[in-house]
Structures are given as structure tokens and as C-alpha cells.
Structure 1
């Protein structure tokens, strides 16, 4: 029998063995990001396993960020995920990515004066404002679209709207523009993140399959005086982004163990 690398008598499941073989092939052959992997049929023939085994092994490597599927093109060695640390900082997406050496560009879909959406009222606690400024953008890192964002500014000043429509937001930081031109600086706030599935519209915008996982982020930004200045919503491609943050132990003091555990 041909040696496929799969040990038929081993207790380790075939798909797990195949995962290790594929990882070894990537490492030993120094396969670079973008390298096209064999098709399902080729892997079945090469390793003597079923399509079910191949799909499970490849699926787990995709979920772990080692491989990347591209519609109609195949499965490729994935690029390292973009590391974003803005969950613990008031810097925006632009400053975070450029600070790590990436280029960031935006396609501005709209800059409009709109009635304050109910969700914005709920998240910001602002029940008096009737209108706000909305900025809708597709964000690209190193020329690849990775996020769709909506920013809501708690400001109905016509001068602000006109200025934002006139400046080049394609390769600039919104936070920096607000600070430099209007003295509006985001000093603190709250951000949350959760998993969501790509809708058909979001799938088209971010070039993923409908139903694929996205990272959905909400943020409320405040000035030094505690005034809510901005609320934003962002949908990030989960296959291209990971969130990092530092943590510290609570200052409440050491935990006291029950006598039976002390």
C-alpha cells in the first residue's frame, strides 16, 4: 500500500493526522501566504482519505487562520491576521493599523446629516438630539477591504458636515481631523465586540460568503469632559483580524480560598 502519511491503526483521527501533515507541508516547503493548496480531490488521492476527512481538516485550518478559502479560486495559505489593539485604547482604526506599519485607505460611501437612529440614542443615552452626522466607509488595509464602518458624530453643526464632505477621508484619520479642525478629541469610552454572521449585503461589501463569521464592534467615544462625541459600528472580516488586549489582575486583593482548598 502507498505510504500516504496517514497511520491507519493510530488512535488519532484521520482528519487530525491530515491537519498535521498539511501543517508540516506548509512549514517544510516554506509555503508563503497566497500559495494555492491542492484541491479536495487531489488531497483525497494523495492521502487516501475521504472528502469528509479533507473538509474537516481544511475547515479547522481555515478557522485557525492557517488557510484561507477564496470563492471560485480555491484554498490558499493565509496571510497572518491583522492585529488590532484598539479595544484597550482610544486610538482609531487608522492610527492602530498605520502604527503597525500597514497602509490604510477608505472608500467613503456617504457623509450625511441624518435623524438620530434609535440604536444610537440607546447606546449614547442622548435623548435630546434630533440629527447627527453619519459617515459610512469601507476600510482597506494593505489594499484589501477588511471592514465596513458607520460613524455617528454627536454634532449637527453644518460647518462640520461641510468640512467632512470637503476633506479627503480616503487616507486620513477621522479622529485626527476632528481634533485638528474642531478641537474634538476622543479621550475615553466603551467598546464591545461580538460574533455575527455576514448578511448577503455585508458579504458583498466584504467579499465573503453569506453566513461567514464577522467581528461586530460598537464603540462610544467621550471627550475629557465626559460628553459623548461619537458612536460607531464596525463589521470586520474575522478571517483577517484578531483583537489583542493586555489584562491586569484586579486590585481588590488576593482571593481568599475556602478552608478545604487553602
Structure 2
């Protein structure tokens, strides 16, 4: 991998030296994201270190997002994570990603009138038996699948359903369509996020392994009057996405105290 080797007389642990060698190699040879790295056995032979050393070095570089493991394929130079603005914004996923220069596309799996149940009914605050429009999509950024989403338009309107089915939701923002065509403008909202493990159909849809980490997001969007326009449930690949947010002083803060803690 490089003509430099492990200094067995140095006080720096072998795994830390190996980490530095790998990072130096990536920079020196301008290795692109997606470049396949040598196997554990190859690194052991090349540097005269044990598998334990290699695994610790590579594991820490994976945690630091320098490298990326792909189940059954090997270890690669990591791609930079896509950033989604989480707070202080009413734009949707499409507008957020395209504003940062990314190409966004969606595979629309279904658009139907459904009885809203479970968590979606709780988020909308709908009575039992209420119907709405459900849009199920697989979202891709720069031709790579990153999220599976279920959006619920809090309207039981056949005209809206018909026009949404005719719209190009594969390449156009849902929020823009709701605003421009139906006057359903989103002014405020609330989002929450938690870590979950991939299982069932999500592993196939998102091309991840069972137990791999996902970012699960719930969102409720409202108009100026406070009426729910839309809510969504989304599962994002944690290895490809990160959430960014701005922190502001809370008006409830006492003088000289910022409400930035977890308390």
C-alpha cells in the first residue's frame, strides 16, 4: 500500500501508526471515494502486523468516516456523507438536496387513497376511519439509494390524488407541487429523529444488512393556521446521511443561561 512501514521501536501503538499510513496513502495517491482497499490479510503481510492491529486501525477509520465497509464486498475509501438541514427550514428533502448541488430522483412505489392508521394517524391527529393520500417512495441522491419514505397528505381529495398520480414526483418536489398547484403551503413543522436497526424489507430496499444503523425521521408540516398539511415517516441510511441543525437561544432561557444542554 505504501513504501513506509511500521516502526516497531516507536512508542506509538501499531494500530495508530497503521491508521496514519492509510490516511497518508489516501492523500498521497488521491484515492477517490469508492476505491477498494487491501484486504486484512494483505495488510498483515505488508506491514508485519496481526489481524487484531489491522482490525482496530480499520475499525477506527470506519468510525471516523475515512473508510467504509460494505458487507461481502470489502473496505473502501468512504464517500462524504450527504447533509440534510434538520431545523429552521420548511423545505423538503428534494429542495434541500438540490440546493446543495446534488441530483435527486425518486422511485414512486405507490400513490393511493388509504385509511390513515398507526403512527401516521397520531401525527396527523386524525379520527379513526379517516382517509388521506399516501405516497411511498424510494429516494436516491446522485444515483445512490439513501432513503425510504412514506408521505401522508392530510386531504381526502380525489382531484389532488389524480393530479399527484399524473405529476412527475420522480424528479419534482412534492412540497412545491402542493404549494403551486393546490395552495397547500407549509409554514411550520416539527421533526424528530432516532436511531433504529435495519430489518425486514428495509434491508432490501436500502441495500443494507440486517441490524445496520438507520436514521428514522418523523415529520409533521402545517400551514399558517396550524392545520396539518402533510406528515412523513422516513428511514435514511446512516452510512450515507447526516443531519445538521442550528442551535438558537430559547426565549425561556433565564438571563445569561443558554438552553443548549440535554437537561
Structure-2-length-normalised TM-score: 0.90
Q: Where does structure 1 differ by over 6 angstroms across 4 or more consecutive aligned residues?
A: none
Select between 239-248 and 15-24 the one with higher mean Cα deviation: 15-24
Aligned to 2:261: none
Does the CA-based 8 Å contact 2:148-2:236 persist in structure 1?
Answer: yes
CA distance in 2, matches of 1:210, 1:115: 30
| Cα distance in 1 for residues equivalent to 2:183 and 2:7 | 64
Give secondary structure in 2 for the equivalent of 1:87. Answer: coil
> 1:124: which partner in 2?
124
- Structure 1 distance, partners of 2:119, 2:15, is 44
Equivalent residue, structure 2, for 1:100: 100
Deviations 1:127-156 (A, max 9, x none): 266111110000000111111111011111
Answering whether residue 5 of structure 2 is matched by residue 4 of structure 1, we say yes
Q: Which moved more, 1:26-35 or 1:206-215?
A: 26-35
Q: Which digits, 9 at most, give the CA deviation of each residue in 1:145-201, with x for residues without a partner?
A: 111111011111011111111111110000001111100011111001111111132
Residue 248 (structure 1) aligned with residue 248 (structure 2): yes
For residues 78 and 150 of structure 2, what CA distance do their matches in structure 1 show? Answer: 28
Q: Distance in 1 between matches of 2:8 and 2:246?
A: 42
Q: What SS does the corresponding residue of 2:122 show, helix, strand or coil?
A: helix
Alpha-carbon distance in 2 for matches of 1:216, 1:242: 12
For 1:154, the equivalent position in structure 2 comes to 154
CA–CA separation in structure 1 for the residues paired with 2:236 and 2:210: 14
Asked if 1:45 is matched to 2:70, the reply is no
Asked if 1:191 is matched to 2:191, the reply is yes
SS of the aligned residue for 2:87 comes to helix
Q: Distance in 1 between matches of 2:72 and 2:190?
A: 40
Distance between the aligned counterparts of 1:6 and 1:225, measured in 2?
A: 67
Question: Does residue 180 of structure 2 align to residue 175 of structure 1?
Answer: no
The structural deviation recorded for 1:119 is: 1.0
* 1:15 partner SS: helix
Structure 1 stretch displaced more, 185-194 or 200-209: 200-209
Number of residue-to-residue matches in the alignment: 254
- Kindly state the Cα deviation for residue 255 of structure 1 after the two structures are TM-superposed: 3.4
TM-score relative to the length of structure 1: 0.90
SS in 1 for 2:62: helix
Whole-Å separation in 2 of the counterparts to 1:133 and 1:152: 6
* Stretches of structure 2 lacking an aligned partner (at least 5 in a row): 259-263
Aligned-partner SS, 1:136? strand
On the 8 A contact 2:85/2:244 being kept in 1, the answer is yes
The corresponding residue for 1:27 is 27
Aligned match of 1:260 = none
Do the aligned residues in 2 keep the contact of 1:133 with 1:156 (CA within 8 Å)?
Answer: yes
CA contact (8 A) 2:116 2:131 kept: yes
Where in structure 1 are there 5+ consecutive unaligned residues? Answer: 257-262
In the alignment, the residues of structure 1 paired with residue 169 and residue 31 of structure 2 have an alpha-carbon distance, to the nearest angstrom, of 37
